[in-house]
Amino acid sequence: MRVDAWLAARFPEAPKAFVRRALAAGCLTLRGRPCAKGERVEPGAAYVLLREPGAPAAPMPNGDVPLEIVWEDAALIALRKPAGLDCQPNGPEERGTLANALLARRPEVAGVGDGPLTCGLLHRIDRDTSGLVLAARAQGAYDALRAQFAAHAVEKRYLALAAGEIRAPGRLEHLLAHNPRAPGRMVDAARWRDAKRPMRAVTAFRPLRPVCVGGVPCTLLEVTIRTGVTHQIRAQLSFAGHPLVGDRRYGGLAVPGFPRHFLHALSVSCAHPATGAPLFLEAPPTDDLVAFLRRA
């Protein structure tokens, strides 16, 4: 295994930029010399991570990246992210993310969050998942709502198209972990002895209607989660034998002309961080999903 892949597997929850910065700064050493990213790991050797690279600089605003604001007040901003767009950059050199776009329109989000790259974003969804993302305009609102996320008091609803005929509501519970042999994929920790730091994930779903995709029976689902583990919905539905349409990473049906998985963050229910009043925010499905269902 290359040392960059090994280091990414050793720190699975760290941003990819952590690995790049650590190796570029000579922070990973073997017998006193810095390791290059392309060299191979020596079995049984003692590697030393001297220090974590310095915190990255803040990202640059980029008004060329489209931004759709579906709701905002003095504390919060609700955005509808399209598929194909990352939520936040891995380093200050990246400029084509939702965070860069938000910073260009609402500069007060600079510095809000748990790091300079956060730009107020309270949670993230995958690059190829569309839908609702919340951002805080001040650190107090960020801290208050992040506490709700940590307490599993925030309910998130998704629209998902899964393989197979699903006729009844269901509930899935797993301990998910980053795959130690394939970074970027989650596994069921109960089946992997070497899985590190498993995280509890609970997903509830109910069928909305059957959909036929290229002759293959599928089901449109409303999915509800309160936990927020990487790839939670995608992985758990795949483990249950119902991978998402278009999700090749987890065994989903590939559909010509549809380059992403069918998953949309539909709504969030929480308490307003300033007033405590119940708050319900929604982002309608994107045009590509609406068109897909019309064709099916």
Here the CATH number for the domain that contains residue 129 is 3.30.2350.10
Question: What is d(CA 100, CA 65) in angstroms, rounded to the nearest whole number?
Answer: 8
State the DSSP code for 292. H
pLDDT at 12: 67
Same domain, 193 and 252: yes
Tell me, yes or no, whether 205 lies in a domain. yes
Q: What is the largest CA-CA distance in the chain?
A: 61
Range of the domain at 73: 69-151
In the chain, % of residues over pLDDT 70:
96
2 or 86, which is more confident: 86
pLDDT higher than threshold 80 for residue 22:
no
Same domain, 164 and 241: yes
pLDDT higher than threshold 90 for residue 197:
no
Same domain, 109 and 197: no
Mean pLDDT of 197-218: 96
Contacts 24+ apart (CB under 8 A), 110-115: 110/58, 111/58, 111/139, 112/136, 112/137, 112/138, 112/139, 112/142, 113/139, 113/142, 114/146, 115/55, 115/56
Tell me, yes or no, whether 190 lies in a domain. yes
279 or 39, which is more confident: 279
Which residues have C-beta within 8 Å of that of residue 116, sequence separation ≥ 6?
A: 55, 56, 57, 58, 59, 92
Asked if 296 contacts 211 with a C-beta cutoff of 8 angstroms, the reply is yes
**Catalytic residue of the set 86, 126, 128, 247:** 126
Same domain, 165 and 251: yes
For the chain, the average pLDDT equals: 91
Same domain, 146 and 77: yes
b/e per residue 256-277 (b: at least 16 CB within 10 A): eebebbbbbbbbbbbeebeeee
Which of 151, 170, 200 corresponds to the end of one domain? Answer: 151
pLDDT higher than threshold 90 for residue 14:
no
pLDDT higher than threshold 80 for residue 175:
yes
In 130-262, beta strands by DSSP E: 130-136, 155-163, 170-178, 186-188, 199-213, 216-225
In the chain, % of residues over pLDDT 90:
71
Tell me, yes or no, whether 63 lies in a domain. no
Write the burial class of residue 240 (CB in 10 Å: 0-12 exposed, 13-18 middle, 19+ buried): middle
Structure tokens at 161: 């198209």
Q: Worst-scoring range by mean pLDDT, 12-26, 114-128, 161-175?
A: 12-26
Which of 118, 151, 184 corresponds to the end of one domain? Answer: 151
Which of 130, 151, 172 corresponds to the end of one domain? Answer: 151
Asked if 128 contacts 261 with a C-beta cutoff of 8 angstroms, the reply is yes
Same domain, 164 and 256: yes
Structure tokens at 269: 């229910």
How distant, in Å, are the alpha carbons of 83, 150, 200, 236, 290 from that of 127? 6, 23, 22, 18, 19
Tally of domains in the chain: 3
Tell me, yes or no, whether 234 lies in a domain. yes
Same domain, 166 and 134: no
pLDDT at 54: 56
Tell me, yes or no, whether 283 lies in a domain. no
Is 114 an annotated catalytic residue?
no
Same domain, 22 and 76: no
Same domain, 180 and 245: yes
Same domain, 166 and 211: yes
Phi and psi dihedrals of 96, rounded to 5? -105, 45
Tell me, yes or no, whether 127 lies in a domain. yes
Tell me, yes or no, whether 231 lies in a domain. yes
Mean pLDDT of 189-212: 91
Same domain, 92 and 136: yes
Tell me, yes or no, whether 100 lies in a domain. yes
pLDDT higher than threshold 60 for residue 53:
no
pLDDT higher than threshold 60 for residue 52:
no
In 17-83, beta strands by DSSP E: 28-30, 33-34, 47-49, 69-72, 76-81
Which residues have C-beta within 8 Å of that of residue 109, sequence separation ≥ 6?
A: 77, 102, 103, 119, 120, 135, 136, 137
Mean pLDDT of 133-155: 97
Same domain, 145 and 203: no
Asked if 227 contacts 201 with a C-beta cutoff of 8 angstroms, the reply is yes
Q: Worst-scoring range by mean pLDDT, 51-55, 91-95, 240-244?
A: 51-55
pLDDT higher than threshold 70 for residue 135:
yes
Mean pLDDT of 18-37: 78
CA dihedral 36→48→186→156, nearest 10 degrees, is -110
